[in-house]
Amino acid sequence: MLSSTFAEDAYPSPDERARLRESLTRSLPEIPSVYFYDDLGSELFEQITRLGVYYPTRTEIGILEQRAGDILRAVRPRRLVELGSGAGRKIRILLDAWRRVGGGETCTMLDVNGLFLETSISRLRTDYPEYTFRGVIGDFTTDLPRLGRGGGRLVIFLAGTIGNLYPDERRAFFREVARVMEPSDALLVGADLVKDTARLEAAYDDPEGVTAAFNRNALRVINRRFGANFAPDAFAHRAFYDAARAWIEMRLVASRRMRVQIPALDLRLDLERGAEIRTEVSCKFTRDSLQASARAGGLVVSSWHTDPDQLFALALLRRSDA
C-alpha cells in the first residue's frame, strides 16, 4: 500500500527506483506492499476480504454500521477524505449515515489504484448526487498535502492499513496528518487488535490460497514495471505472527536457487533456496499502544469503538492541542 503516486502507465521515477533498490538490497530484502495493488492484486484483495478466515473486513463493517452516526455527530464534518479507498464499500456506510446526520458537502478518495478509484467514484456520484466527489491517485504517506486545506474535515483511514507502517513510519504519518489538520478536523483509524496467534495467522494464510496468489502477484508487478525476471511460481507464501513486535509478517520463500535481473534498477539478486523476501508487516494494537503511537505524532484518541469480541477497533483521533 505504500509508495509515492503509483501509476502503472508511467515509467518509474528515479525516486521510486531508488526506494525499491534500497528495499531489495537490505539484509532481509523487502518489496513495498504498494506493489500488491495492480488491477489483479486489488481484485485478489477484494476476494480475501470475503474469506471466512479473514475477520477484519466484516468486523470493521459491523462496527461502522453500529457507530457511524455517533462518529459523524461527534465531528460534524463538511468534508470526508478516505485514504486507500479500494472498492469504496465502507465509505457508503458513512455516506448513508452522513445523509441522516446532515451537513455533508464533499468526499475525496485517495488510492494508488486508478481503476478502482475511477470505478468507485463513478458509482458513488450516481448513488449520492448531493455530494461532490473527487479522486486522487496517490500515496497516503507522501501525498496528504494534495488533499488541500483542512477545516471541517474527517479523514478516514480504515482496513487496519495503519498497521502496514513500521513504527517510525507510523509516527511520521501521524505527524503529517496532524500538520495538515485544523482543530475542527479528526482522523478515523481502523486498527486490528492483538489476539490469539492461530486466528491471526489463519487470516493471512487462507486454505484457498488466495492470499498466496496475492503475495506472489507483487513479483509479477515488479517484473512488468521494472523489467525483472522473477519466477513467481518458484516462491512459496509464508505468514507468521511475531509476538515481540506485535505484527504479522508476509514473506515469499525461494523454492530453488535463482538469479534475478532487474534492469530498471541496475540490480542483480542471487537468491539461495530458502531465501526470503518480506512483502508486508501488519501491526496489531491495543488501545494503549495505538494511543502511544498517536501521541508521538501529536494526536490523541478521543473515542474508541470496538466489536463485542475485541477483534478490531475504530479510533477517532484529534490534534493533541485542539
Report residue 86 as a C-alpha cell.
Answer: 479500494
pLDDT digits (tens, 9 = 90+) for 86-127: 556 789 999 999 999 988 899 998 887 777 788 889 999 999
The answer as to whether 87 is a domain residue is yes
The answer as to whether 310 is a domain residue is yes
Residue at 25: amino acid letter:
T
Please state, rounded to an integer, the average pLDDT across all residues of the chain: 92
Torsion angles phi and psi, residue 309, rounded to 5: -90, 0
CATH of the domain at 134: 3.40.50.150
The answer as to whether 204 is a domain residue is yes
Do 81 and 108 share a domain, yes or no? Answer: yes
Do 174 and 308 share a domain, yes or no? Answer: yes
Do 92 and 176 share a domain, yes or no? Answer: yes
H, E, C per residue of the chain:
CCCCCCCCCCCCCHHHHHHHHHHHCCCCCECCHHHHCCHHHHHHHHHHHCCCCCHHHHHHHHHHHHHHHHHHHHHCCCEEEEECCCCCHHHHHHHHHHHHHCCCCEEEEEECCHHHHHHHHHHHHHHCCCCEEEEEECCCCCCHHHHCCCCCEEEEECCCHHHHCCHHHHHHHHHHHHHHCCCCCEEEEEEEECCCHHHHHHHCCCCCCHHHHHHHHHHHHHHHHHCCCCCHHHEEEEEEEECCCCEEEEEEEECCCEEEEEHHHCEEEEECCCCEEEEEEEECECHHHHHHHHHHCCEEEEEEEECCCCCEEEEEEEECCC
Give me the residue label for grid cell 503475495.
215
pLDDT > 90? residue 6: no
**Nearest C-alpha neighbor of 76 from the set 95, 107, 101, 94:** 101
Query: Do 74 and 316 contact (CB within 8 A), yes or no?
Result: yes
* Percent above pLDDT 90 for the chain: 79
Give 78's contacts (C-beta < 8 A, 6+ positions apart).
103, 104, 105, 106, 151, 152, 153
Do 308 and 173 share a domain, yes or no? Answer: yes
From the number of C-beta atoms within 10 Å of its C-beta (0-12, 13-18, 19+), residue 265 rates as buried
The answer as to whether 266 is a domain residue is yes
The parent domain of residue 248 ranges over 14-53+198-283
Do 22 and 130 share a domain, yes or no? Answer: no
Q: So what's the pLDDT on residue 107?
A: 93
Do 234 and 302 share a domain, yes or no? Answer: no
The answer as to whether 241 is a domain residue is yes
Distance CA 310, CA 313 (A): 7
Please tell me the pTM assigned to this model.
0.90
HSE value, Cβ hemisphere, 13 Å, CA-based, for 265: 25
Do 255 and 294 share a domain, yes or no? Answer: no
Confidence of residue 42 (pLDDT cuts 50, 70, 90): confident
Q: So what's the pLDDT on residue 138?
A: 81
Do 290 and 187 share a domain, yes or no? Answer: yes
Report residue 174 as a C-alpha cell.
Answer: 501521524
Q: So what's the pLDDT on residue 146?
A: 81
Do 123 and 34 share a domain, yes or no? Answer: no
Do 267 and 206 share a domain, yes or no? Answer: yes
Give me the residue label for grid cell 482496513.
159
The answer as to whether 93 is a domain residue is yes
pLDDT digits (tens, 9 = 90+) for 263-313: 999 999 999 999 999 999 999 999 999 999 999 999 999 999 999 999 999
Cα-Cα-Cα-Cα dihedral sign, residues 123, 124, 130, 135? negative
Domain total of the chain: 2
The answer as to whether 43 is a domain residue is yes
Do 163 and 206 share a domain, yes or no? Answer: no
Give 150's contacts (C-beta < 8 A, 6+ positions apart).
180, 181, 182, 184, 185
Q: So what's the pLDDT on residue 2?
A: 31
Confidence of residue 11 (pLDDT cuts 50, 70, 90): confident
pLDDT digits (tens, 9 = 90+) for 218-239: 999 999 999 999 999 999 999 9
How big is the chain, counted in residues? 322
Distance CA 89, CA 65 (A): 12
